[in-house]
């Protein structure tokens, strides 16, 4: 577990930040890892599961907008991290379609600035990217060698973030993942369960295929990568893949809602402003070649998430879940 407050968001954020920066420079024995987007779904899992030998410090938008120089200064200050895991990003896929400049700012420009910070301080940058950099037409899982070809604004903004990472940060790793679910964030699994519990009709897209990935499994795996001098690109997801409809069915069954029917539709029938890749499964080949154990099956991970995090409380989460 980390020993830091994840982020400061109150009026005294400046003072807290200064104290935090002082602590950062005082305690240089442990590896200092800064996690951006630490309030988000993946970032919060990384903070919670940080190994004892690491000093994990989280920053999020309340500490500074990383797409601005002032935000970089206020969020990251004089710190000299060994590693920055850059999870912060604009993750509303339909929002990116209607306001592509926002996605570019938070995914491309912010990454450019974080990469510049890393280059200046000699820190390794681990950038979290997405299957949405691919067009989904390959027909088999994408390897790290496949050429990206995004088909929507979100994917283009994340690819621009990848390019900034590779061009600016001297020591960098890009980790692509997909269909994240986990505590503390808006996600498809929570959205489906909430929606069904509130009596809503559940729709499931049958021709959009991916690998659902549990943020806590992903976070544990990312900490393994922090410990290894890996560069380039790594694809990382839970094992197995399914359609959105199969994921919805699995989520409802795990939540004890087996009686709730799912109306199966195709992407073409779904009223969305955004074109999504049809089959964007990520082959975790490089992860396996590194000798690392494949992440468990998505069904097992999802059952754990539903049992531990969704069965007790569920009504307050957002139902805007069809984003990734
Ligand atoms: N969710 C998925 O299914 C999925 C799939 C593949 C890849 N990814 C990638 O994985 C990463 C983590 O995803 P997630 O779902 O955990 O994200 P998330 O829950 O949306 O959290 C992202 C956090 O970053 C913050 N942020 C956005 N722009 C920022 C900026 N300019 N400066 C500082 N903070 C900023 C957000 O603040 P606000 O909320 O206030 O904007 C939010 O707290 C992202 O890079 C995403 O692209 C996600």
Domain membership of residue 172 (yes or no) is yes
- Please check whether residue 46 lies inside any domain of the structure: yes
The rounded Å distance from CA 109 to ligand 1 centre is: 14
Which atom of ligand 1 is closest in space to residue 39's alpha carbon? 43
Both tokens assigned to 224 = 């393994």
Is 259 within the bounds of a domain?
no
Q: Rounded CA gap, 82 and 292, in Å?
A: 23
Please check whether residue 109 lies inside any domain of the structure: yes
- Which atom belonging to ligand 1 lies closest to the Cα atom of 179? 3
Cα-to-centroid distance, 40 and ligand 1 (Å): 6
Is 142 among the catalytic positions?
no
Please identify which residue in the block is written with the tokens 């899992």.
45
Q: 270 lies in a domain?
A: no
CATH number at residue 67: 3.40.50.720
Torsional class of 122: left (φ above 0), alpha (ψ -120 to 50), beta (otherwise):
left
Residues 108, 161 contacting (CB under 8 angstroms)? yes
Q: Which two tokens stand for residue 17?
A: 């930040």
Q: Estimate the crossing angle of helix 41-48 against helix 215-226, to 10 degrees.
A: 60
pLDDT tens digits in sequence order for the chain, 324 residues long: 232 222 333 344 445 555 554 444 444 458 999 999 999 999 999 999 999 999 999 999 999 999 999 999 999 999 999 999 999 999 999 999 999 999 999 999 999 999 999 999 999 999 999 999 999 999 999 999 999 999 999 999 999 999 999 999 999 999 999 999 999 988 999 999 999 999 999 999 999 999 999 999 999 999 999 999 999 999 999 999 999 999 999 999 999 999 999 999 999 998 889 999 999 999 999 999 999 999 999 999 999 999 999 986 544 443 344 344
Domain count, the chain: 1
Residue matched to tokens 């496949």: 146
Model-level pTM?
A: 0.90
| Residue 7: inside a domain | no
Could you give the CA distance from residue 279 to residue 100 in angstroms, rounded to a whole number?
23
Residue 120, domain member (yes or no): yes
Domain that holds residue 75: 13-185+212-239+276-297
Would you mind telling me the total number of residues written for the chain in this entry?
324
Catalytic residue among 90, 132, 142, 154: 154
Distance 9 CA to ligand 1 centre (A): 17
* Residue 282 domain flag: yes
Which two three-digit tokens encode residue 211?
Answer: 């690998």
């Amino acid at each position: 577990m980390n020993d830091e407050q994840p982020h400061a968001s109150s009026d005294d954020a400046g003072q807290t930040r200064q104290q935090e920066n002082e602590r950062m420079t005082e305690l240089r024995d442990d590896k200092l890892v800064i996690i951006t987007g630490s309030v988000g779904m993946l970032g919060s899992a990384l903070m919670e599961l940080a190994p004892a030998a690491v000093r994990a410090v989280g920053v999020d938008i309340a500490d500074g907008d990383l797409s601005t120089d002032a935000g970089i200064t206020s969020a990251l200050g004089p710190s000299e991290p060994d590693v920055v895991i850059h999870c912060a990003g604009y993750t509303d896929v339909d929002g990116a379609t209607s306001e592509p400049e926002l996605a570019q700012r938070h995914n491309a420009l912010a990454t450019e600035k974080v990469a510049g910070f890393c280059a200046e301080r000699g820190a390794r940058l681990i950038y979290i990217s997405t299957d949405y950099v691919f067009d989904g037409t390959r027909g088999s899982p994408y390897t790290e060698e496949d050429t990206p070809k995004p088909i929507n604004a979100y994917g283009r903004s994340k690819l621009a973030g990848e390019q900034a990472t590779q061009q600016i940060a001297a020591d960098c790793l890009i980790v692509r993942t997909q269909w994240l679910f986990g505590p503390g964030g808006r996600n498809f699994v929570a959205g489906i369960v909430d929606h069904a519990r509130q009596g809503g009709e559940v729709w499931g897209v049958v021709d959009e295929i991916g690998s659902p990935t549990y943020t806590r499994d992903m976070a544990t795996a990312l900490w393994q990568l922090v410990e290894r001098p890996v560069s380039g690109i790594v694809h990382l997801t839970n094992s197995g893949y399914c359609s959105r409809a199969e994921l919805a069915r699995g989520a409802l069954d795990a939540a004890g809602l087996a009686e709730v029917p799912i109306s199966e539709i195709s992407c073409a029938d779904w009223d969305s402003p955004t074109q999504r890749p049809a089959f964007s499964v990520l082959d975790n080949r490089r992860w396996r070649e590194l000798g690392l154990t494949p992440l468990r099956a998505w069904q097992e991970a999802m059952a754990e998430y539903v049992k531990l995090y969704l069965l007790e409380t569920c009504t307050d989460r957002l139902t805007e879940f069809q984003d990734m």
